[in-house]
Chains A and B, each alone.
Chain A
Amino acid sequence: MKRNRNSSFFEKKLLIEALKSSFVKLDPRNQLKNPVMFVVFVGAIFSTFMLFTNFSGFNLQIVIWLWFTSLFANFAEAIAEGRGKAQADSLRKLKTSVMARKMNGTKEVLVAATELRKGDVVVCEANDIIPIDGEIIEGIATVDESAITGESAPVIRESGGDRSAVTGGTVVLSDRVLIQVTCDPGDSFIDRMIALVEGAKRQKTPNEIALTILLSGLTIIFVLATVTLYPFFSYSVSQSATKISLTLPILISLLVCLIPTTIGGLLSAIGISGMDRLLARNVIAKSGRAVEAAGDIDVLLLDKTGTITFGNRMATEIVAANGVAEHYLAEITQMSSLSDDTPEGRSIVTLVKDKYNLRGRDLSGFHIESVPFTAQTRMSGVDIREKDGKLLKSIRKGAADSIKNYVEAAGNVYPEEIEKAVYQIANEGSTPLVVTENEKVLGVIRLKDVVKGGIKERFAQLRKMGIKTVMVTGDNPLTAASIAAEAGVDDFIAEAKPEDKLELIRIEQADGKLVAMIGDGTNDAPALAQANVGVAMNTGTQAAREAGNMVDLDSNPTKLIEIVEIGKQLLMTRGALTTFSIANDVAKYFAIIPAVFAGLYGFGGVNGPLSKLNIMHLQSPESAVLSSIIFNALIIIALIPLALKGIAYRPSGATQILRRNILIYGVGGLIVPFVGIKVIDLIINLLHFV
């Protein structure tokens, strides 16, 4: 999908939309969803009514800031949703009314895409927009999926196999395919993506629910503490023979300051932005629950190909037989691969070019006949002939045992040192390719599965985070072990069948572990469904995309690691802001309690004994209360960017992460409001607000 990646927090349009919906969200039904903010809402209504009976500039300011607190929390949620909405809008453009060429028996009928139903068959040719999600049942085509993935290179889609799914809104670039519709209108992939990013179907995740319960519990405790304050205060007033009063707006202010409004106001923004951050990395989570589970992952199931290695084996070395010059071997090797268009073949050409400085040779004077690889011969090569057809050279390369048969059939000796080299290369997890010239062995090429750069460090980080990595590969155990060791994964399954993945997931889950995997094929679907986090590649089959709880639009298997990190970051942000919010209360007590109790037991004086607790030296009781409530409201706004971006995350062990976050958000949460309230107190006194 084409998204504006720079959609910053301050983008004007977004901001205006968010401002509008901050007011719309004052709807009591909406407020009820968040118990903490509901208390603020009710408090604001109460104090507004109090204004009619007991008007003062001070009370008016309290009322204003109470409403601001409510609005700021709404704004936080609105802006988080707004970012999703902007993305949804760009998706919606894909849904312009497309006409579909529906097959009616063998006849083609033109119908609107919205009239297609599951099971219908449509035909698409070059430059047609695929009207709706479906599965190719006949043909092969190149498809431009950039509208969804942002990737401009076209992809191949063909019937049968794991690349048969097509998405509505994408464009066929070449060829002709028959597509069977797999969903009804309104339920297509894009429809669901729109719903997801808009947050329309957003439900609270389990951890969010638990946190809401905790915050509501704390709110109940603070309601008890403030409500009982009134009788306690009345008793004390009656005992100290002073005439001071505790007004309802002040009590409400105290309550609003104490209840965890910071986290309460930002909680849903944090959740929405977690899914948003995934989206920014082109991953669509089908539920917030999946994002949360990502943070808990203990085991990552990674396909070797594409994740750990580049997917293609590459030539890294050539070994010459006795009596063969290495340079000559290089030359012959190069010739053997000149007409070999496979990635392996190209890598051989690259190797000799780089290592032996061999350019492509001018062979125009010869007749070159390439001998393609077949399953029977298990070798390939070239025959070089003179113009008259006389055979000059017959060059072959291939698997060791078939070359051995080939060489020995011609009555030549298969050298012992080559046998050894082959054995050693295979033993090290690489693939040996033996090169011959005129049925004589010249040497061996080492084809190696090359591990991606930096992947080992990535796995080391994961290990620190307590995540075990398991490599899944179809290779034999020997090859698998060698790559596993090189990449630094914790474990591997070799010669893996699709059922093995499912089995492994079951075993790990029985141990109480949470497993994440990425997959694309139909036979991956059961494992994707079983995994706690199953990421389906967008290139995969419809079945796989249905089974997983996330879809990676880039179809990049390394993404799994980022998904885990985003999950962790989401949970950390929630914990950090909760800690911050609760730690804030200490300072607010030291601001408000001395302010409202100052006159008690003062023996006529204004500054009674409890004014000693005014350690911030706030200038008056009114300014103390006002500063606290202003700080309380502004901190919500100040922390919106943090809630949307998530707190800084560096992969390391739990204890280090914890210590760092305690220091920043716990200790910081204790100190910041002392400074903030004092500063606000100075400002409002300077401006004579009280």
Chain B
Amino acid sequence: MNYFDYLQVFVYLLLLVALTPLIGNYMFKVFDNKPFKAKGIFSWLETSIYKTIGLKPDSQQNWKQYAFALLSFNLLGFLFVFVLQLIQKQLPLNPQQLGNVSWPLAFNTAASFMTNTNWQSYAGETTLSYFTQLIGLTVQNFVSAATGFGVALVLIRGIRNKLNSQLGNFYVDLTRSVIYILLPLSILFSVVLIGQGVIQNLNAYKTVTTIEKNQQVIPQGPAASQIAIKQLGTNGGGFFNTNSAHPYENPTPLSNFLEMLAILLLPASFVYCFGKMIGSVKQGWYIYMTMFILFTVGLVISVYSEYHFSSGVFEGKELRFGTINSLIWENATTAASNGSVNAMHSSLSPLSALVALFNMMLGEIIFGGVGAGLYGMLIFVILTVFIAGLMVGRTPEYLGKKIEAFEVKMAIMGVIAPSFIILVFTAIACMTDAGLSSLSSKGPHGFSEMLYAFTSAGANNGSAFAGLNANTNFYNLMIGIGILVGRFGVIIPVLAIAGSLSEKKLIPVSSGTFRTDNFTFVFLLIAVILIVGALTFFPALSLGPIVEHILMITGKTF
């Protein structure tokens, strides 16, 4: 590592923190429907949408109605993308005449994009038409991120409500998220990316003759518009197969830096927005601090492992921008449930891969997915408050709301759902030929390939370890199911918690109250996250990256 590497890490973290209150405050104004300067530019769109679908913007739903609206909207989105892929050959904007997609792959892709996971078993340039990418995937990139915002907003409202069940309206949250936050930022960002050289066209692929007189096909397409939202909306599904390692997706050091920043920007800012919305910016910052510490520690381990144990090993890393950029990206993309990559995670040193896996296994709560990161973290907050809160001699409460049997039940369900997918599905893969035949490595690294795939699915991350041939019926279906359980197995409990909290009394704070806005709480929260995470996955990790690391340092390889 040289000074520029250190400097870059520093500038990256600094900019992230500096932008947090700015964007966070803007989000607060949007979500709490406060006036702000440029609102007029977009508000006509909002009102005309409401008029079209006949919705009163101040209409309210209880948690069950909200959940029903969310699930049916997502189901429609899923079916639309699914069918689109099955008939894309008959649809326009398909200059390469790409054929219809097989149903298991179409299922996997539709589930993946609808849930903000964006796991890709396919290679974009050889599988999907421009029409499918634009109308199917890009649209889901927006609405899946907006869905995440919606769930988190319901939880926030549940916390601050007093004895009522009005938790907002799904369609209003969806519309506002897209129109005021995701769309403007994406437009802005794609223009910048186009300026850096990311392509945006509907041309047929170009065949060129290389210097060595070989023929090479260069894919084209409307990339910039999808890349902006894939980074901002913690989607991560690349336009091209190699994702942001592709020069058309990520051409310059500046585009690389901005894309890395975009990964964490909205999830991080939303934590600040949370503080504003519950009326205590301080509470927000302490949760932010928890996430920031977890992120930084992961990054440090990852960087140390890479430079100390496998320096000089460049296979699969981002050579244009340097190893450090592969590592920042790797940590950001697995911490947030982004899943885009600019390097192949399979090529990372074992401990780096361990950090990537562990980031995801914790449930994507280190900033995490847009909205999803916050509500995932709040699940752990509830568990922490419950375990440690008892130690102050009161029944547990968080932000004035009693945490009781129902909340604990739902919170623990939200933890079990992804863990179930990660452990049980990996175990199934271990026991079946269908699972094992896709491996490209032997030994612990092969185990990591399977573990990574289902971790990525269960945690709705979407990044791939590379190496595993995931485009088989077994993996397409298993991962697709895993993604759905990992998403809705958390969302529904969270909505239920919101519904239950919403109808509770607000208990005033006293000096006997368990404080959640000090360093003791940050320490406790980190301890609970790490211990629960480590206890669940330590055996699995020890058979993958840990044993691989020990083998590597003792000079044995597979």
Contact = CB atoms under 8 A, between A and B. Distances in A.
B511 interface: yes
Interface in B416-449: 416, 419-420, 423-424, 426-428, 430-431, 436, 442-444, 446-447
Contact of B395 (A236, A463, A513, A571): A571
A292 B535 CA distance: 30
A359 B446 CA distance: 101
B409 interface: yes
Nearest to B451: A232
B313 interface: no
B527 A593 contact: no
B202 to A, nearest CB: 46
B427 A236 contact: no
Interface string A536-574: 000000000000000000000000000000011101101
Contacts of A388: none
A225 B536 contact: yes
A574 B442 CA distance: 47
A191 to B, nearest CB: 30
Contact of A601 (B407, B428, B520, B547): B547
Interface stretch (B72-80, B167-175, B242-250, B383-391): B383-391
A258 interface: yes
A659 B514 CA distance: 11
B531 A213 contact: no
Contacts of A649: 393
A19 interface: no
A467 B387 contact: no
Contacts of A568: 393-394
A612 interface: yes
A234 B542 contact: no
B538 interface: yes
Contacts of A218: 412, 532
A371 B507 CA distance: 57
A234 B515 CA distance: 46
Contacts of A221: 415-416, 419, 532, 535-536
Contacts of B546: 610, 613
A325 interface: no
Contacts of A235: 430, 436, 447, 543
Q: How large is the interface on B (under 10, 10 to 19, 20 to 34, 35 or more residues)?
A: 35 or more
A571 B393 CA distance: 5
Given A235-B430, A572-B393, A575-B389, A601 B444 contact: yes
A406 interface: no
Contacts, number: 228
Nearest to B393: A568
Nearest to B552: A609
Contacts of A655: 392, 515, 518, 520
B554 interface: yes
Nearest to A613: B542
Interface in B346-397: 383, 386-396
Given A224-B423, A601-B443, 20 more contacts: A210-B408, A218-B532, A224-B419, A231-B428, A236-B447, A239-B442, A465-B512, A512-B505, A512-B506, A571-B394, A571-B395, A572-B390, A575-B391, A582-B535, A589-B534, A603-B556, A657-B391, A657-B392, A657-B393, A662-B391
24 contacts: A211-B408, A217-B409, A220-B416, A222-B535, A222-B536, A224-B424, A225-B536, A229-B539, A231-B431, A234-B431, A258-B535, A295-B394, A512-B507, A571-B393, A575-B390, A579-B387, A585-B531, A593-B539, A597-B542, A649-B393, A653-B512, A657-B393, A662-B391, A662-B524
Interface of B: 383, 386-396, 400, 403-405, 407-409, 412-413, 415-416, 419-420, 423-424, 426-428, 430-431, 436, 442-444, 446-447, 505-508, 510-515, 518, 520, 523-524, 527, 531-532, 534-540, 542-543, 546-547, 550-551, 554, 556, 558
